[in-house]
Amino acid sequence: MQLALVSFDIAWEDVPRNLRRAREQLSRARDLGATLAVLPEMFATGFSMNASRIAEPPDGPIQEFLSEAAASLGIGILAGVATHADPSRRPVNEAILTTPGGERSRYEKLHPFSLAKEHEHYAGGSGVVTWNVDGIRVTPLVCYDLRFPEPFRVAAPDTDLYVVIANWPDRRRAHWQTLLRARAIENVAYVAGVNRVGDGDGHHYSGDSALISPWGETIVSAAEDETILVANVDPARVSETRARFPFLSDVRPGCYRRGTAPDH
């Protein structure tokens, strides 16, 4: 798979402007040879808590844009969108995979960012998902999910590539960089982090989008400027690294609980 990490400056809650910019970037990604292009979390609006304004139904204009772009460019697109499909619950912050053939797959962000009161505006998802994309087992996660190792470990046996889409502010960039590498190392898999750049809602975003190898090495990365990073993801590299260093076979989930010290 030729993976494109598309990091751009998101105009705050300006959907038409962001869709035009995303279309330009996706066209460039296709021209660079990408077969799957990844856009940041809430790529068309920014990380807005104005859910009543920005969350759209399952066939809203942002998702229709993704379908049109995937079909006309002939590439898969993974992007973040705020959606509201169920009137009985709050909207959700989703990662949506759109294929050139028009299929859509969805992942709901498990961990709303309580520090920004996201949990008051968006419902949390209920489980981890993994998609088969051109023979690559892809597990999507969204921003704050990166701070929680549990969903990564649950998905590890069936994952070649984790994709984390984000609006992660500059003031916590060291955490972003460190956790991307940690998740790759501890799960012996590729980790792609796709973050926005620029300014929005009082925050600065430095990007720091990157693809990390199953051994924890940075394959490509970029910060501050709008950029498209293209790199190859090879599932054989995951298999070979895991066979040579079978760390995951030593996991003992039944032991990971607080015990009682023995009497002496």
Of the residues 41, 56, 94, 108, only one is catalytic, namely 41
Token readout for 241 is: 């690294």
Q: Is 117 a catalytic residue?
A: no
Q: Is 24 a catalytic residue?
A: no
Token readout for 253 is: 């989930």
Q: How would you list the strands of the sheet with 218-222, edge to edge?
A: 131-133, 136-142, 161-166, 190-195, 209-212, 218-222
Of the residues 56, 108, 118, 143, only one is catalytic, namely 143
- CA-to-CA distance for 132 and 145, rounded, in angstroms? 21
| CB-based contact 241:214 (threshold 8 Å) | yes
Of the residues 56, 94, 108, 109, only one is catalytic, namely 109
Q: Is 109 a catalytic residue?
A: yes
DSSP β-ladder status, 209-212 and 203-206: unpaired
3-state secondary structure of 241: helix
- Which residues are designated catalytic? 41, 109, 143
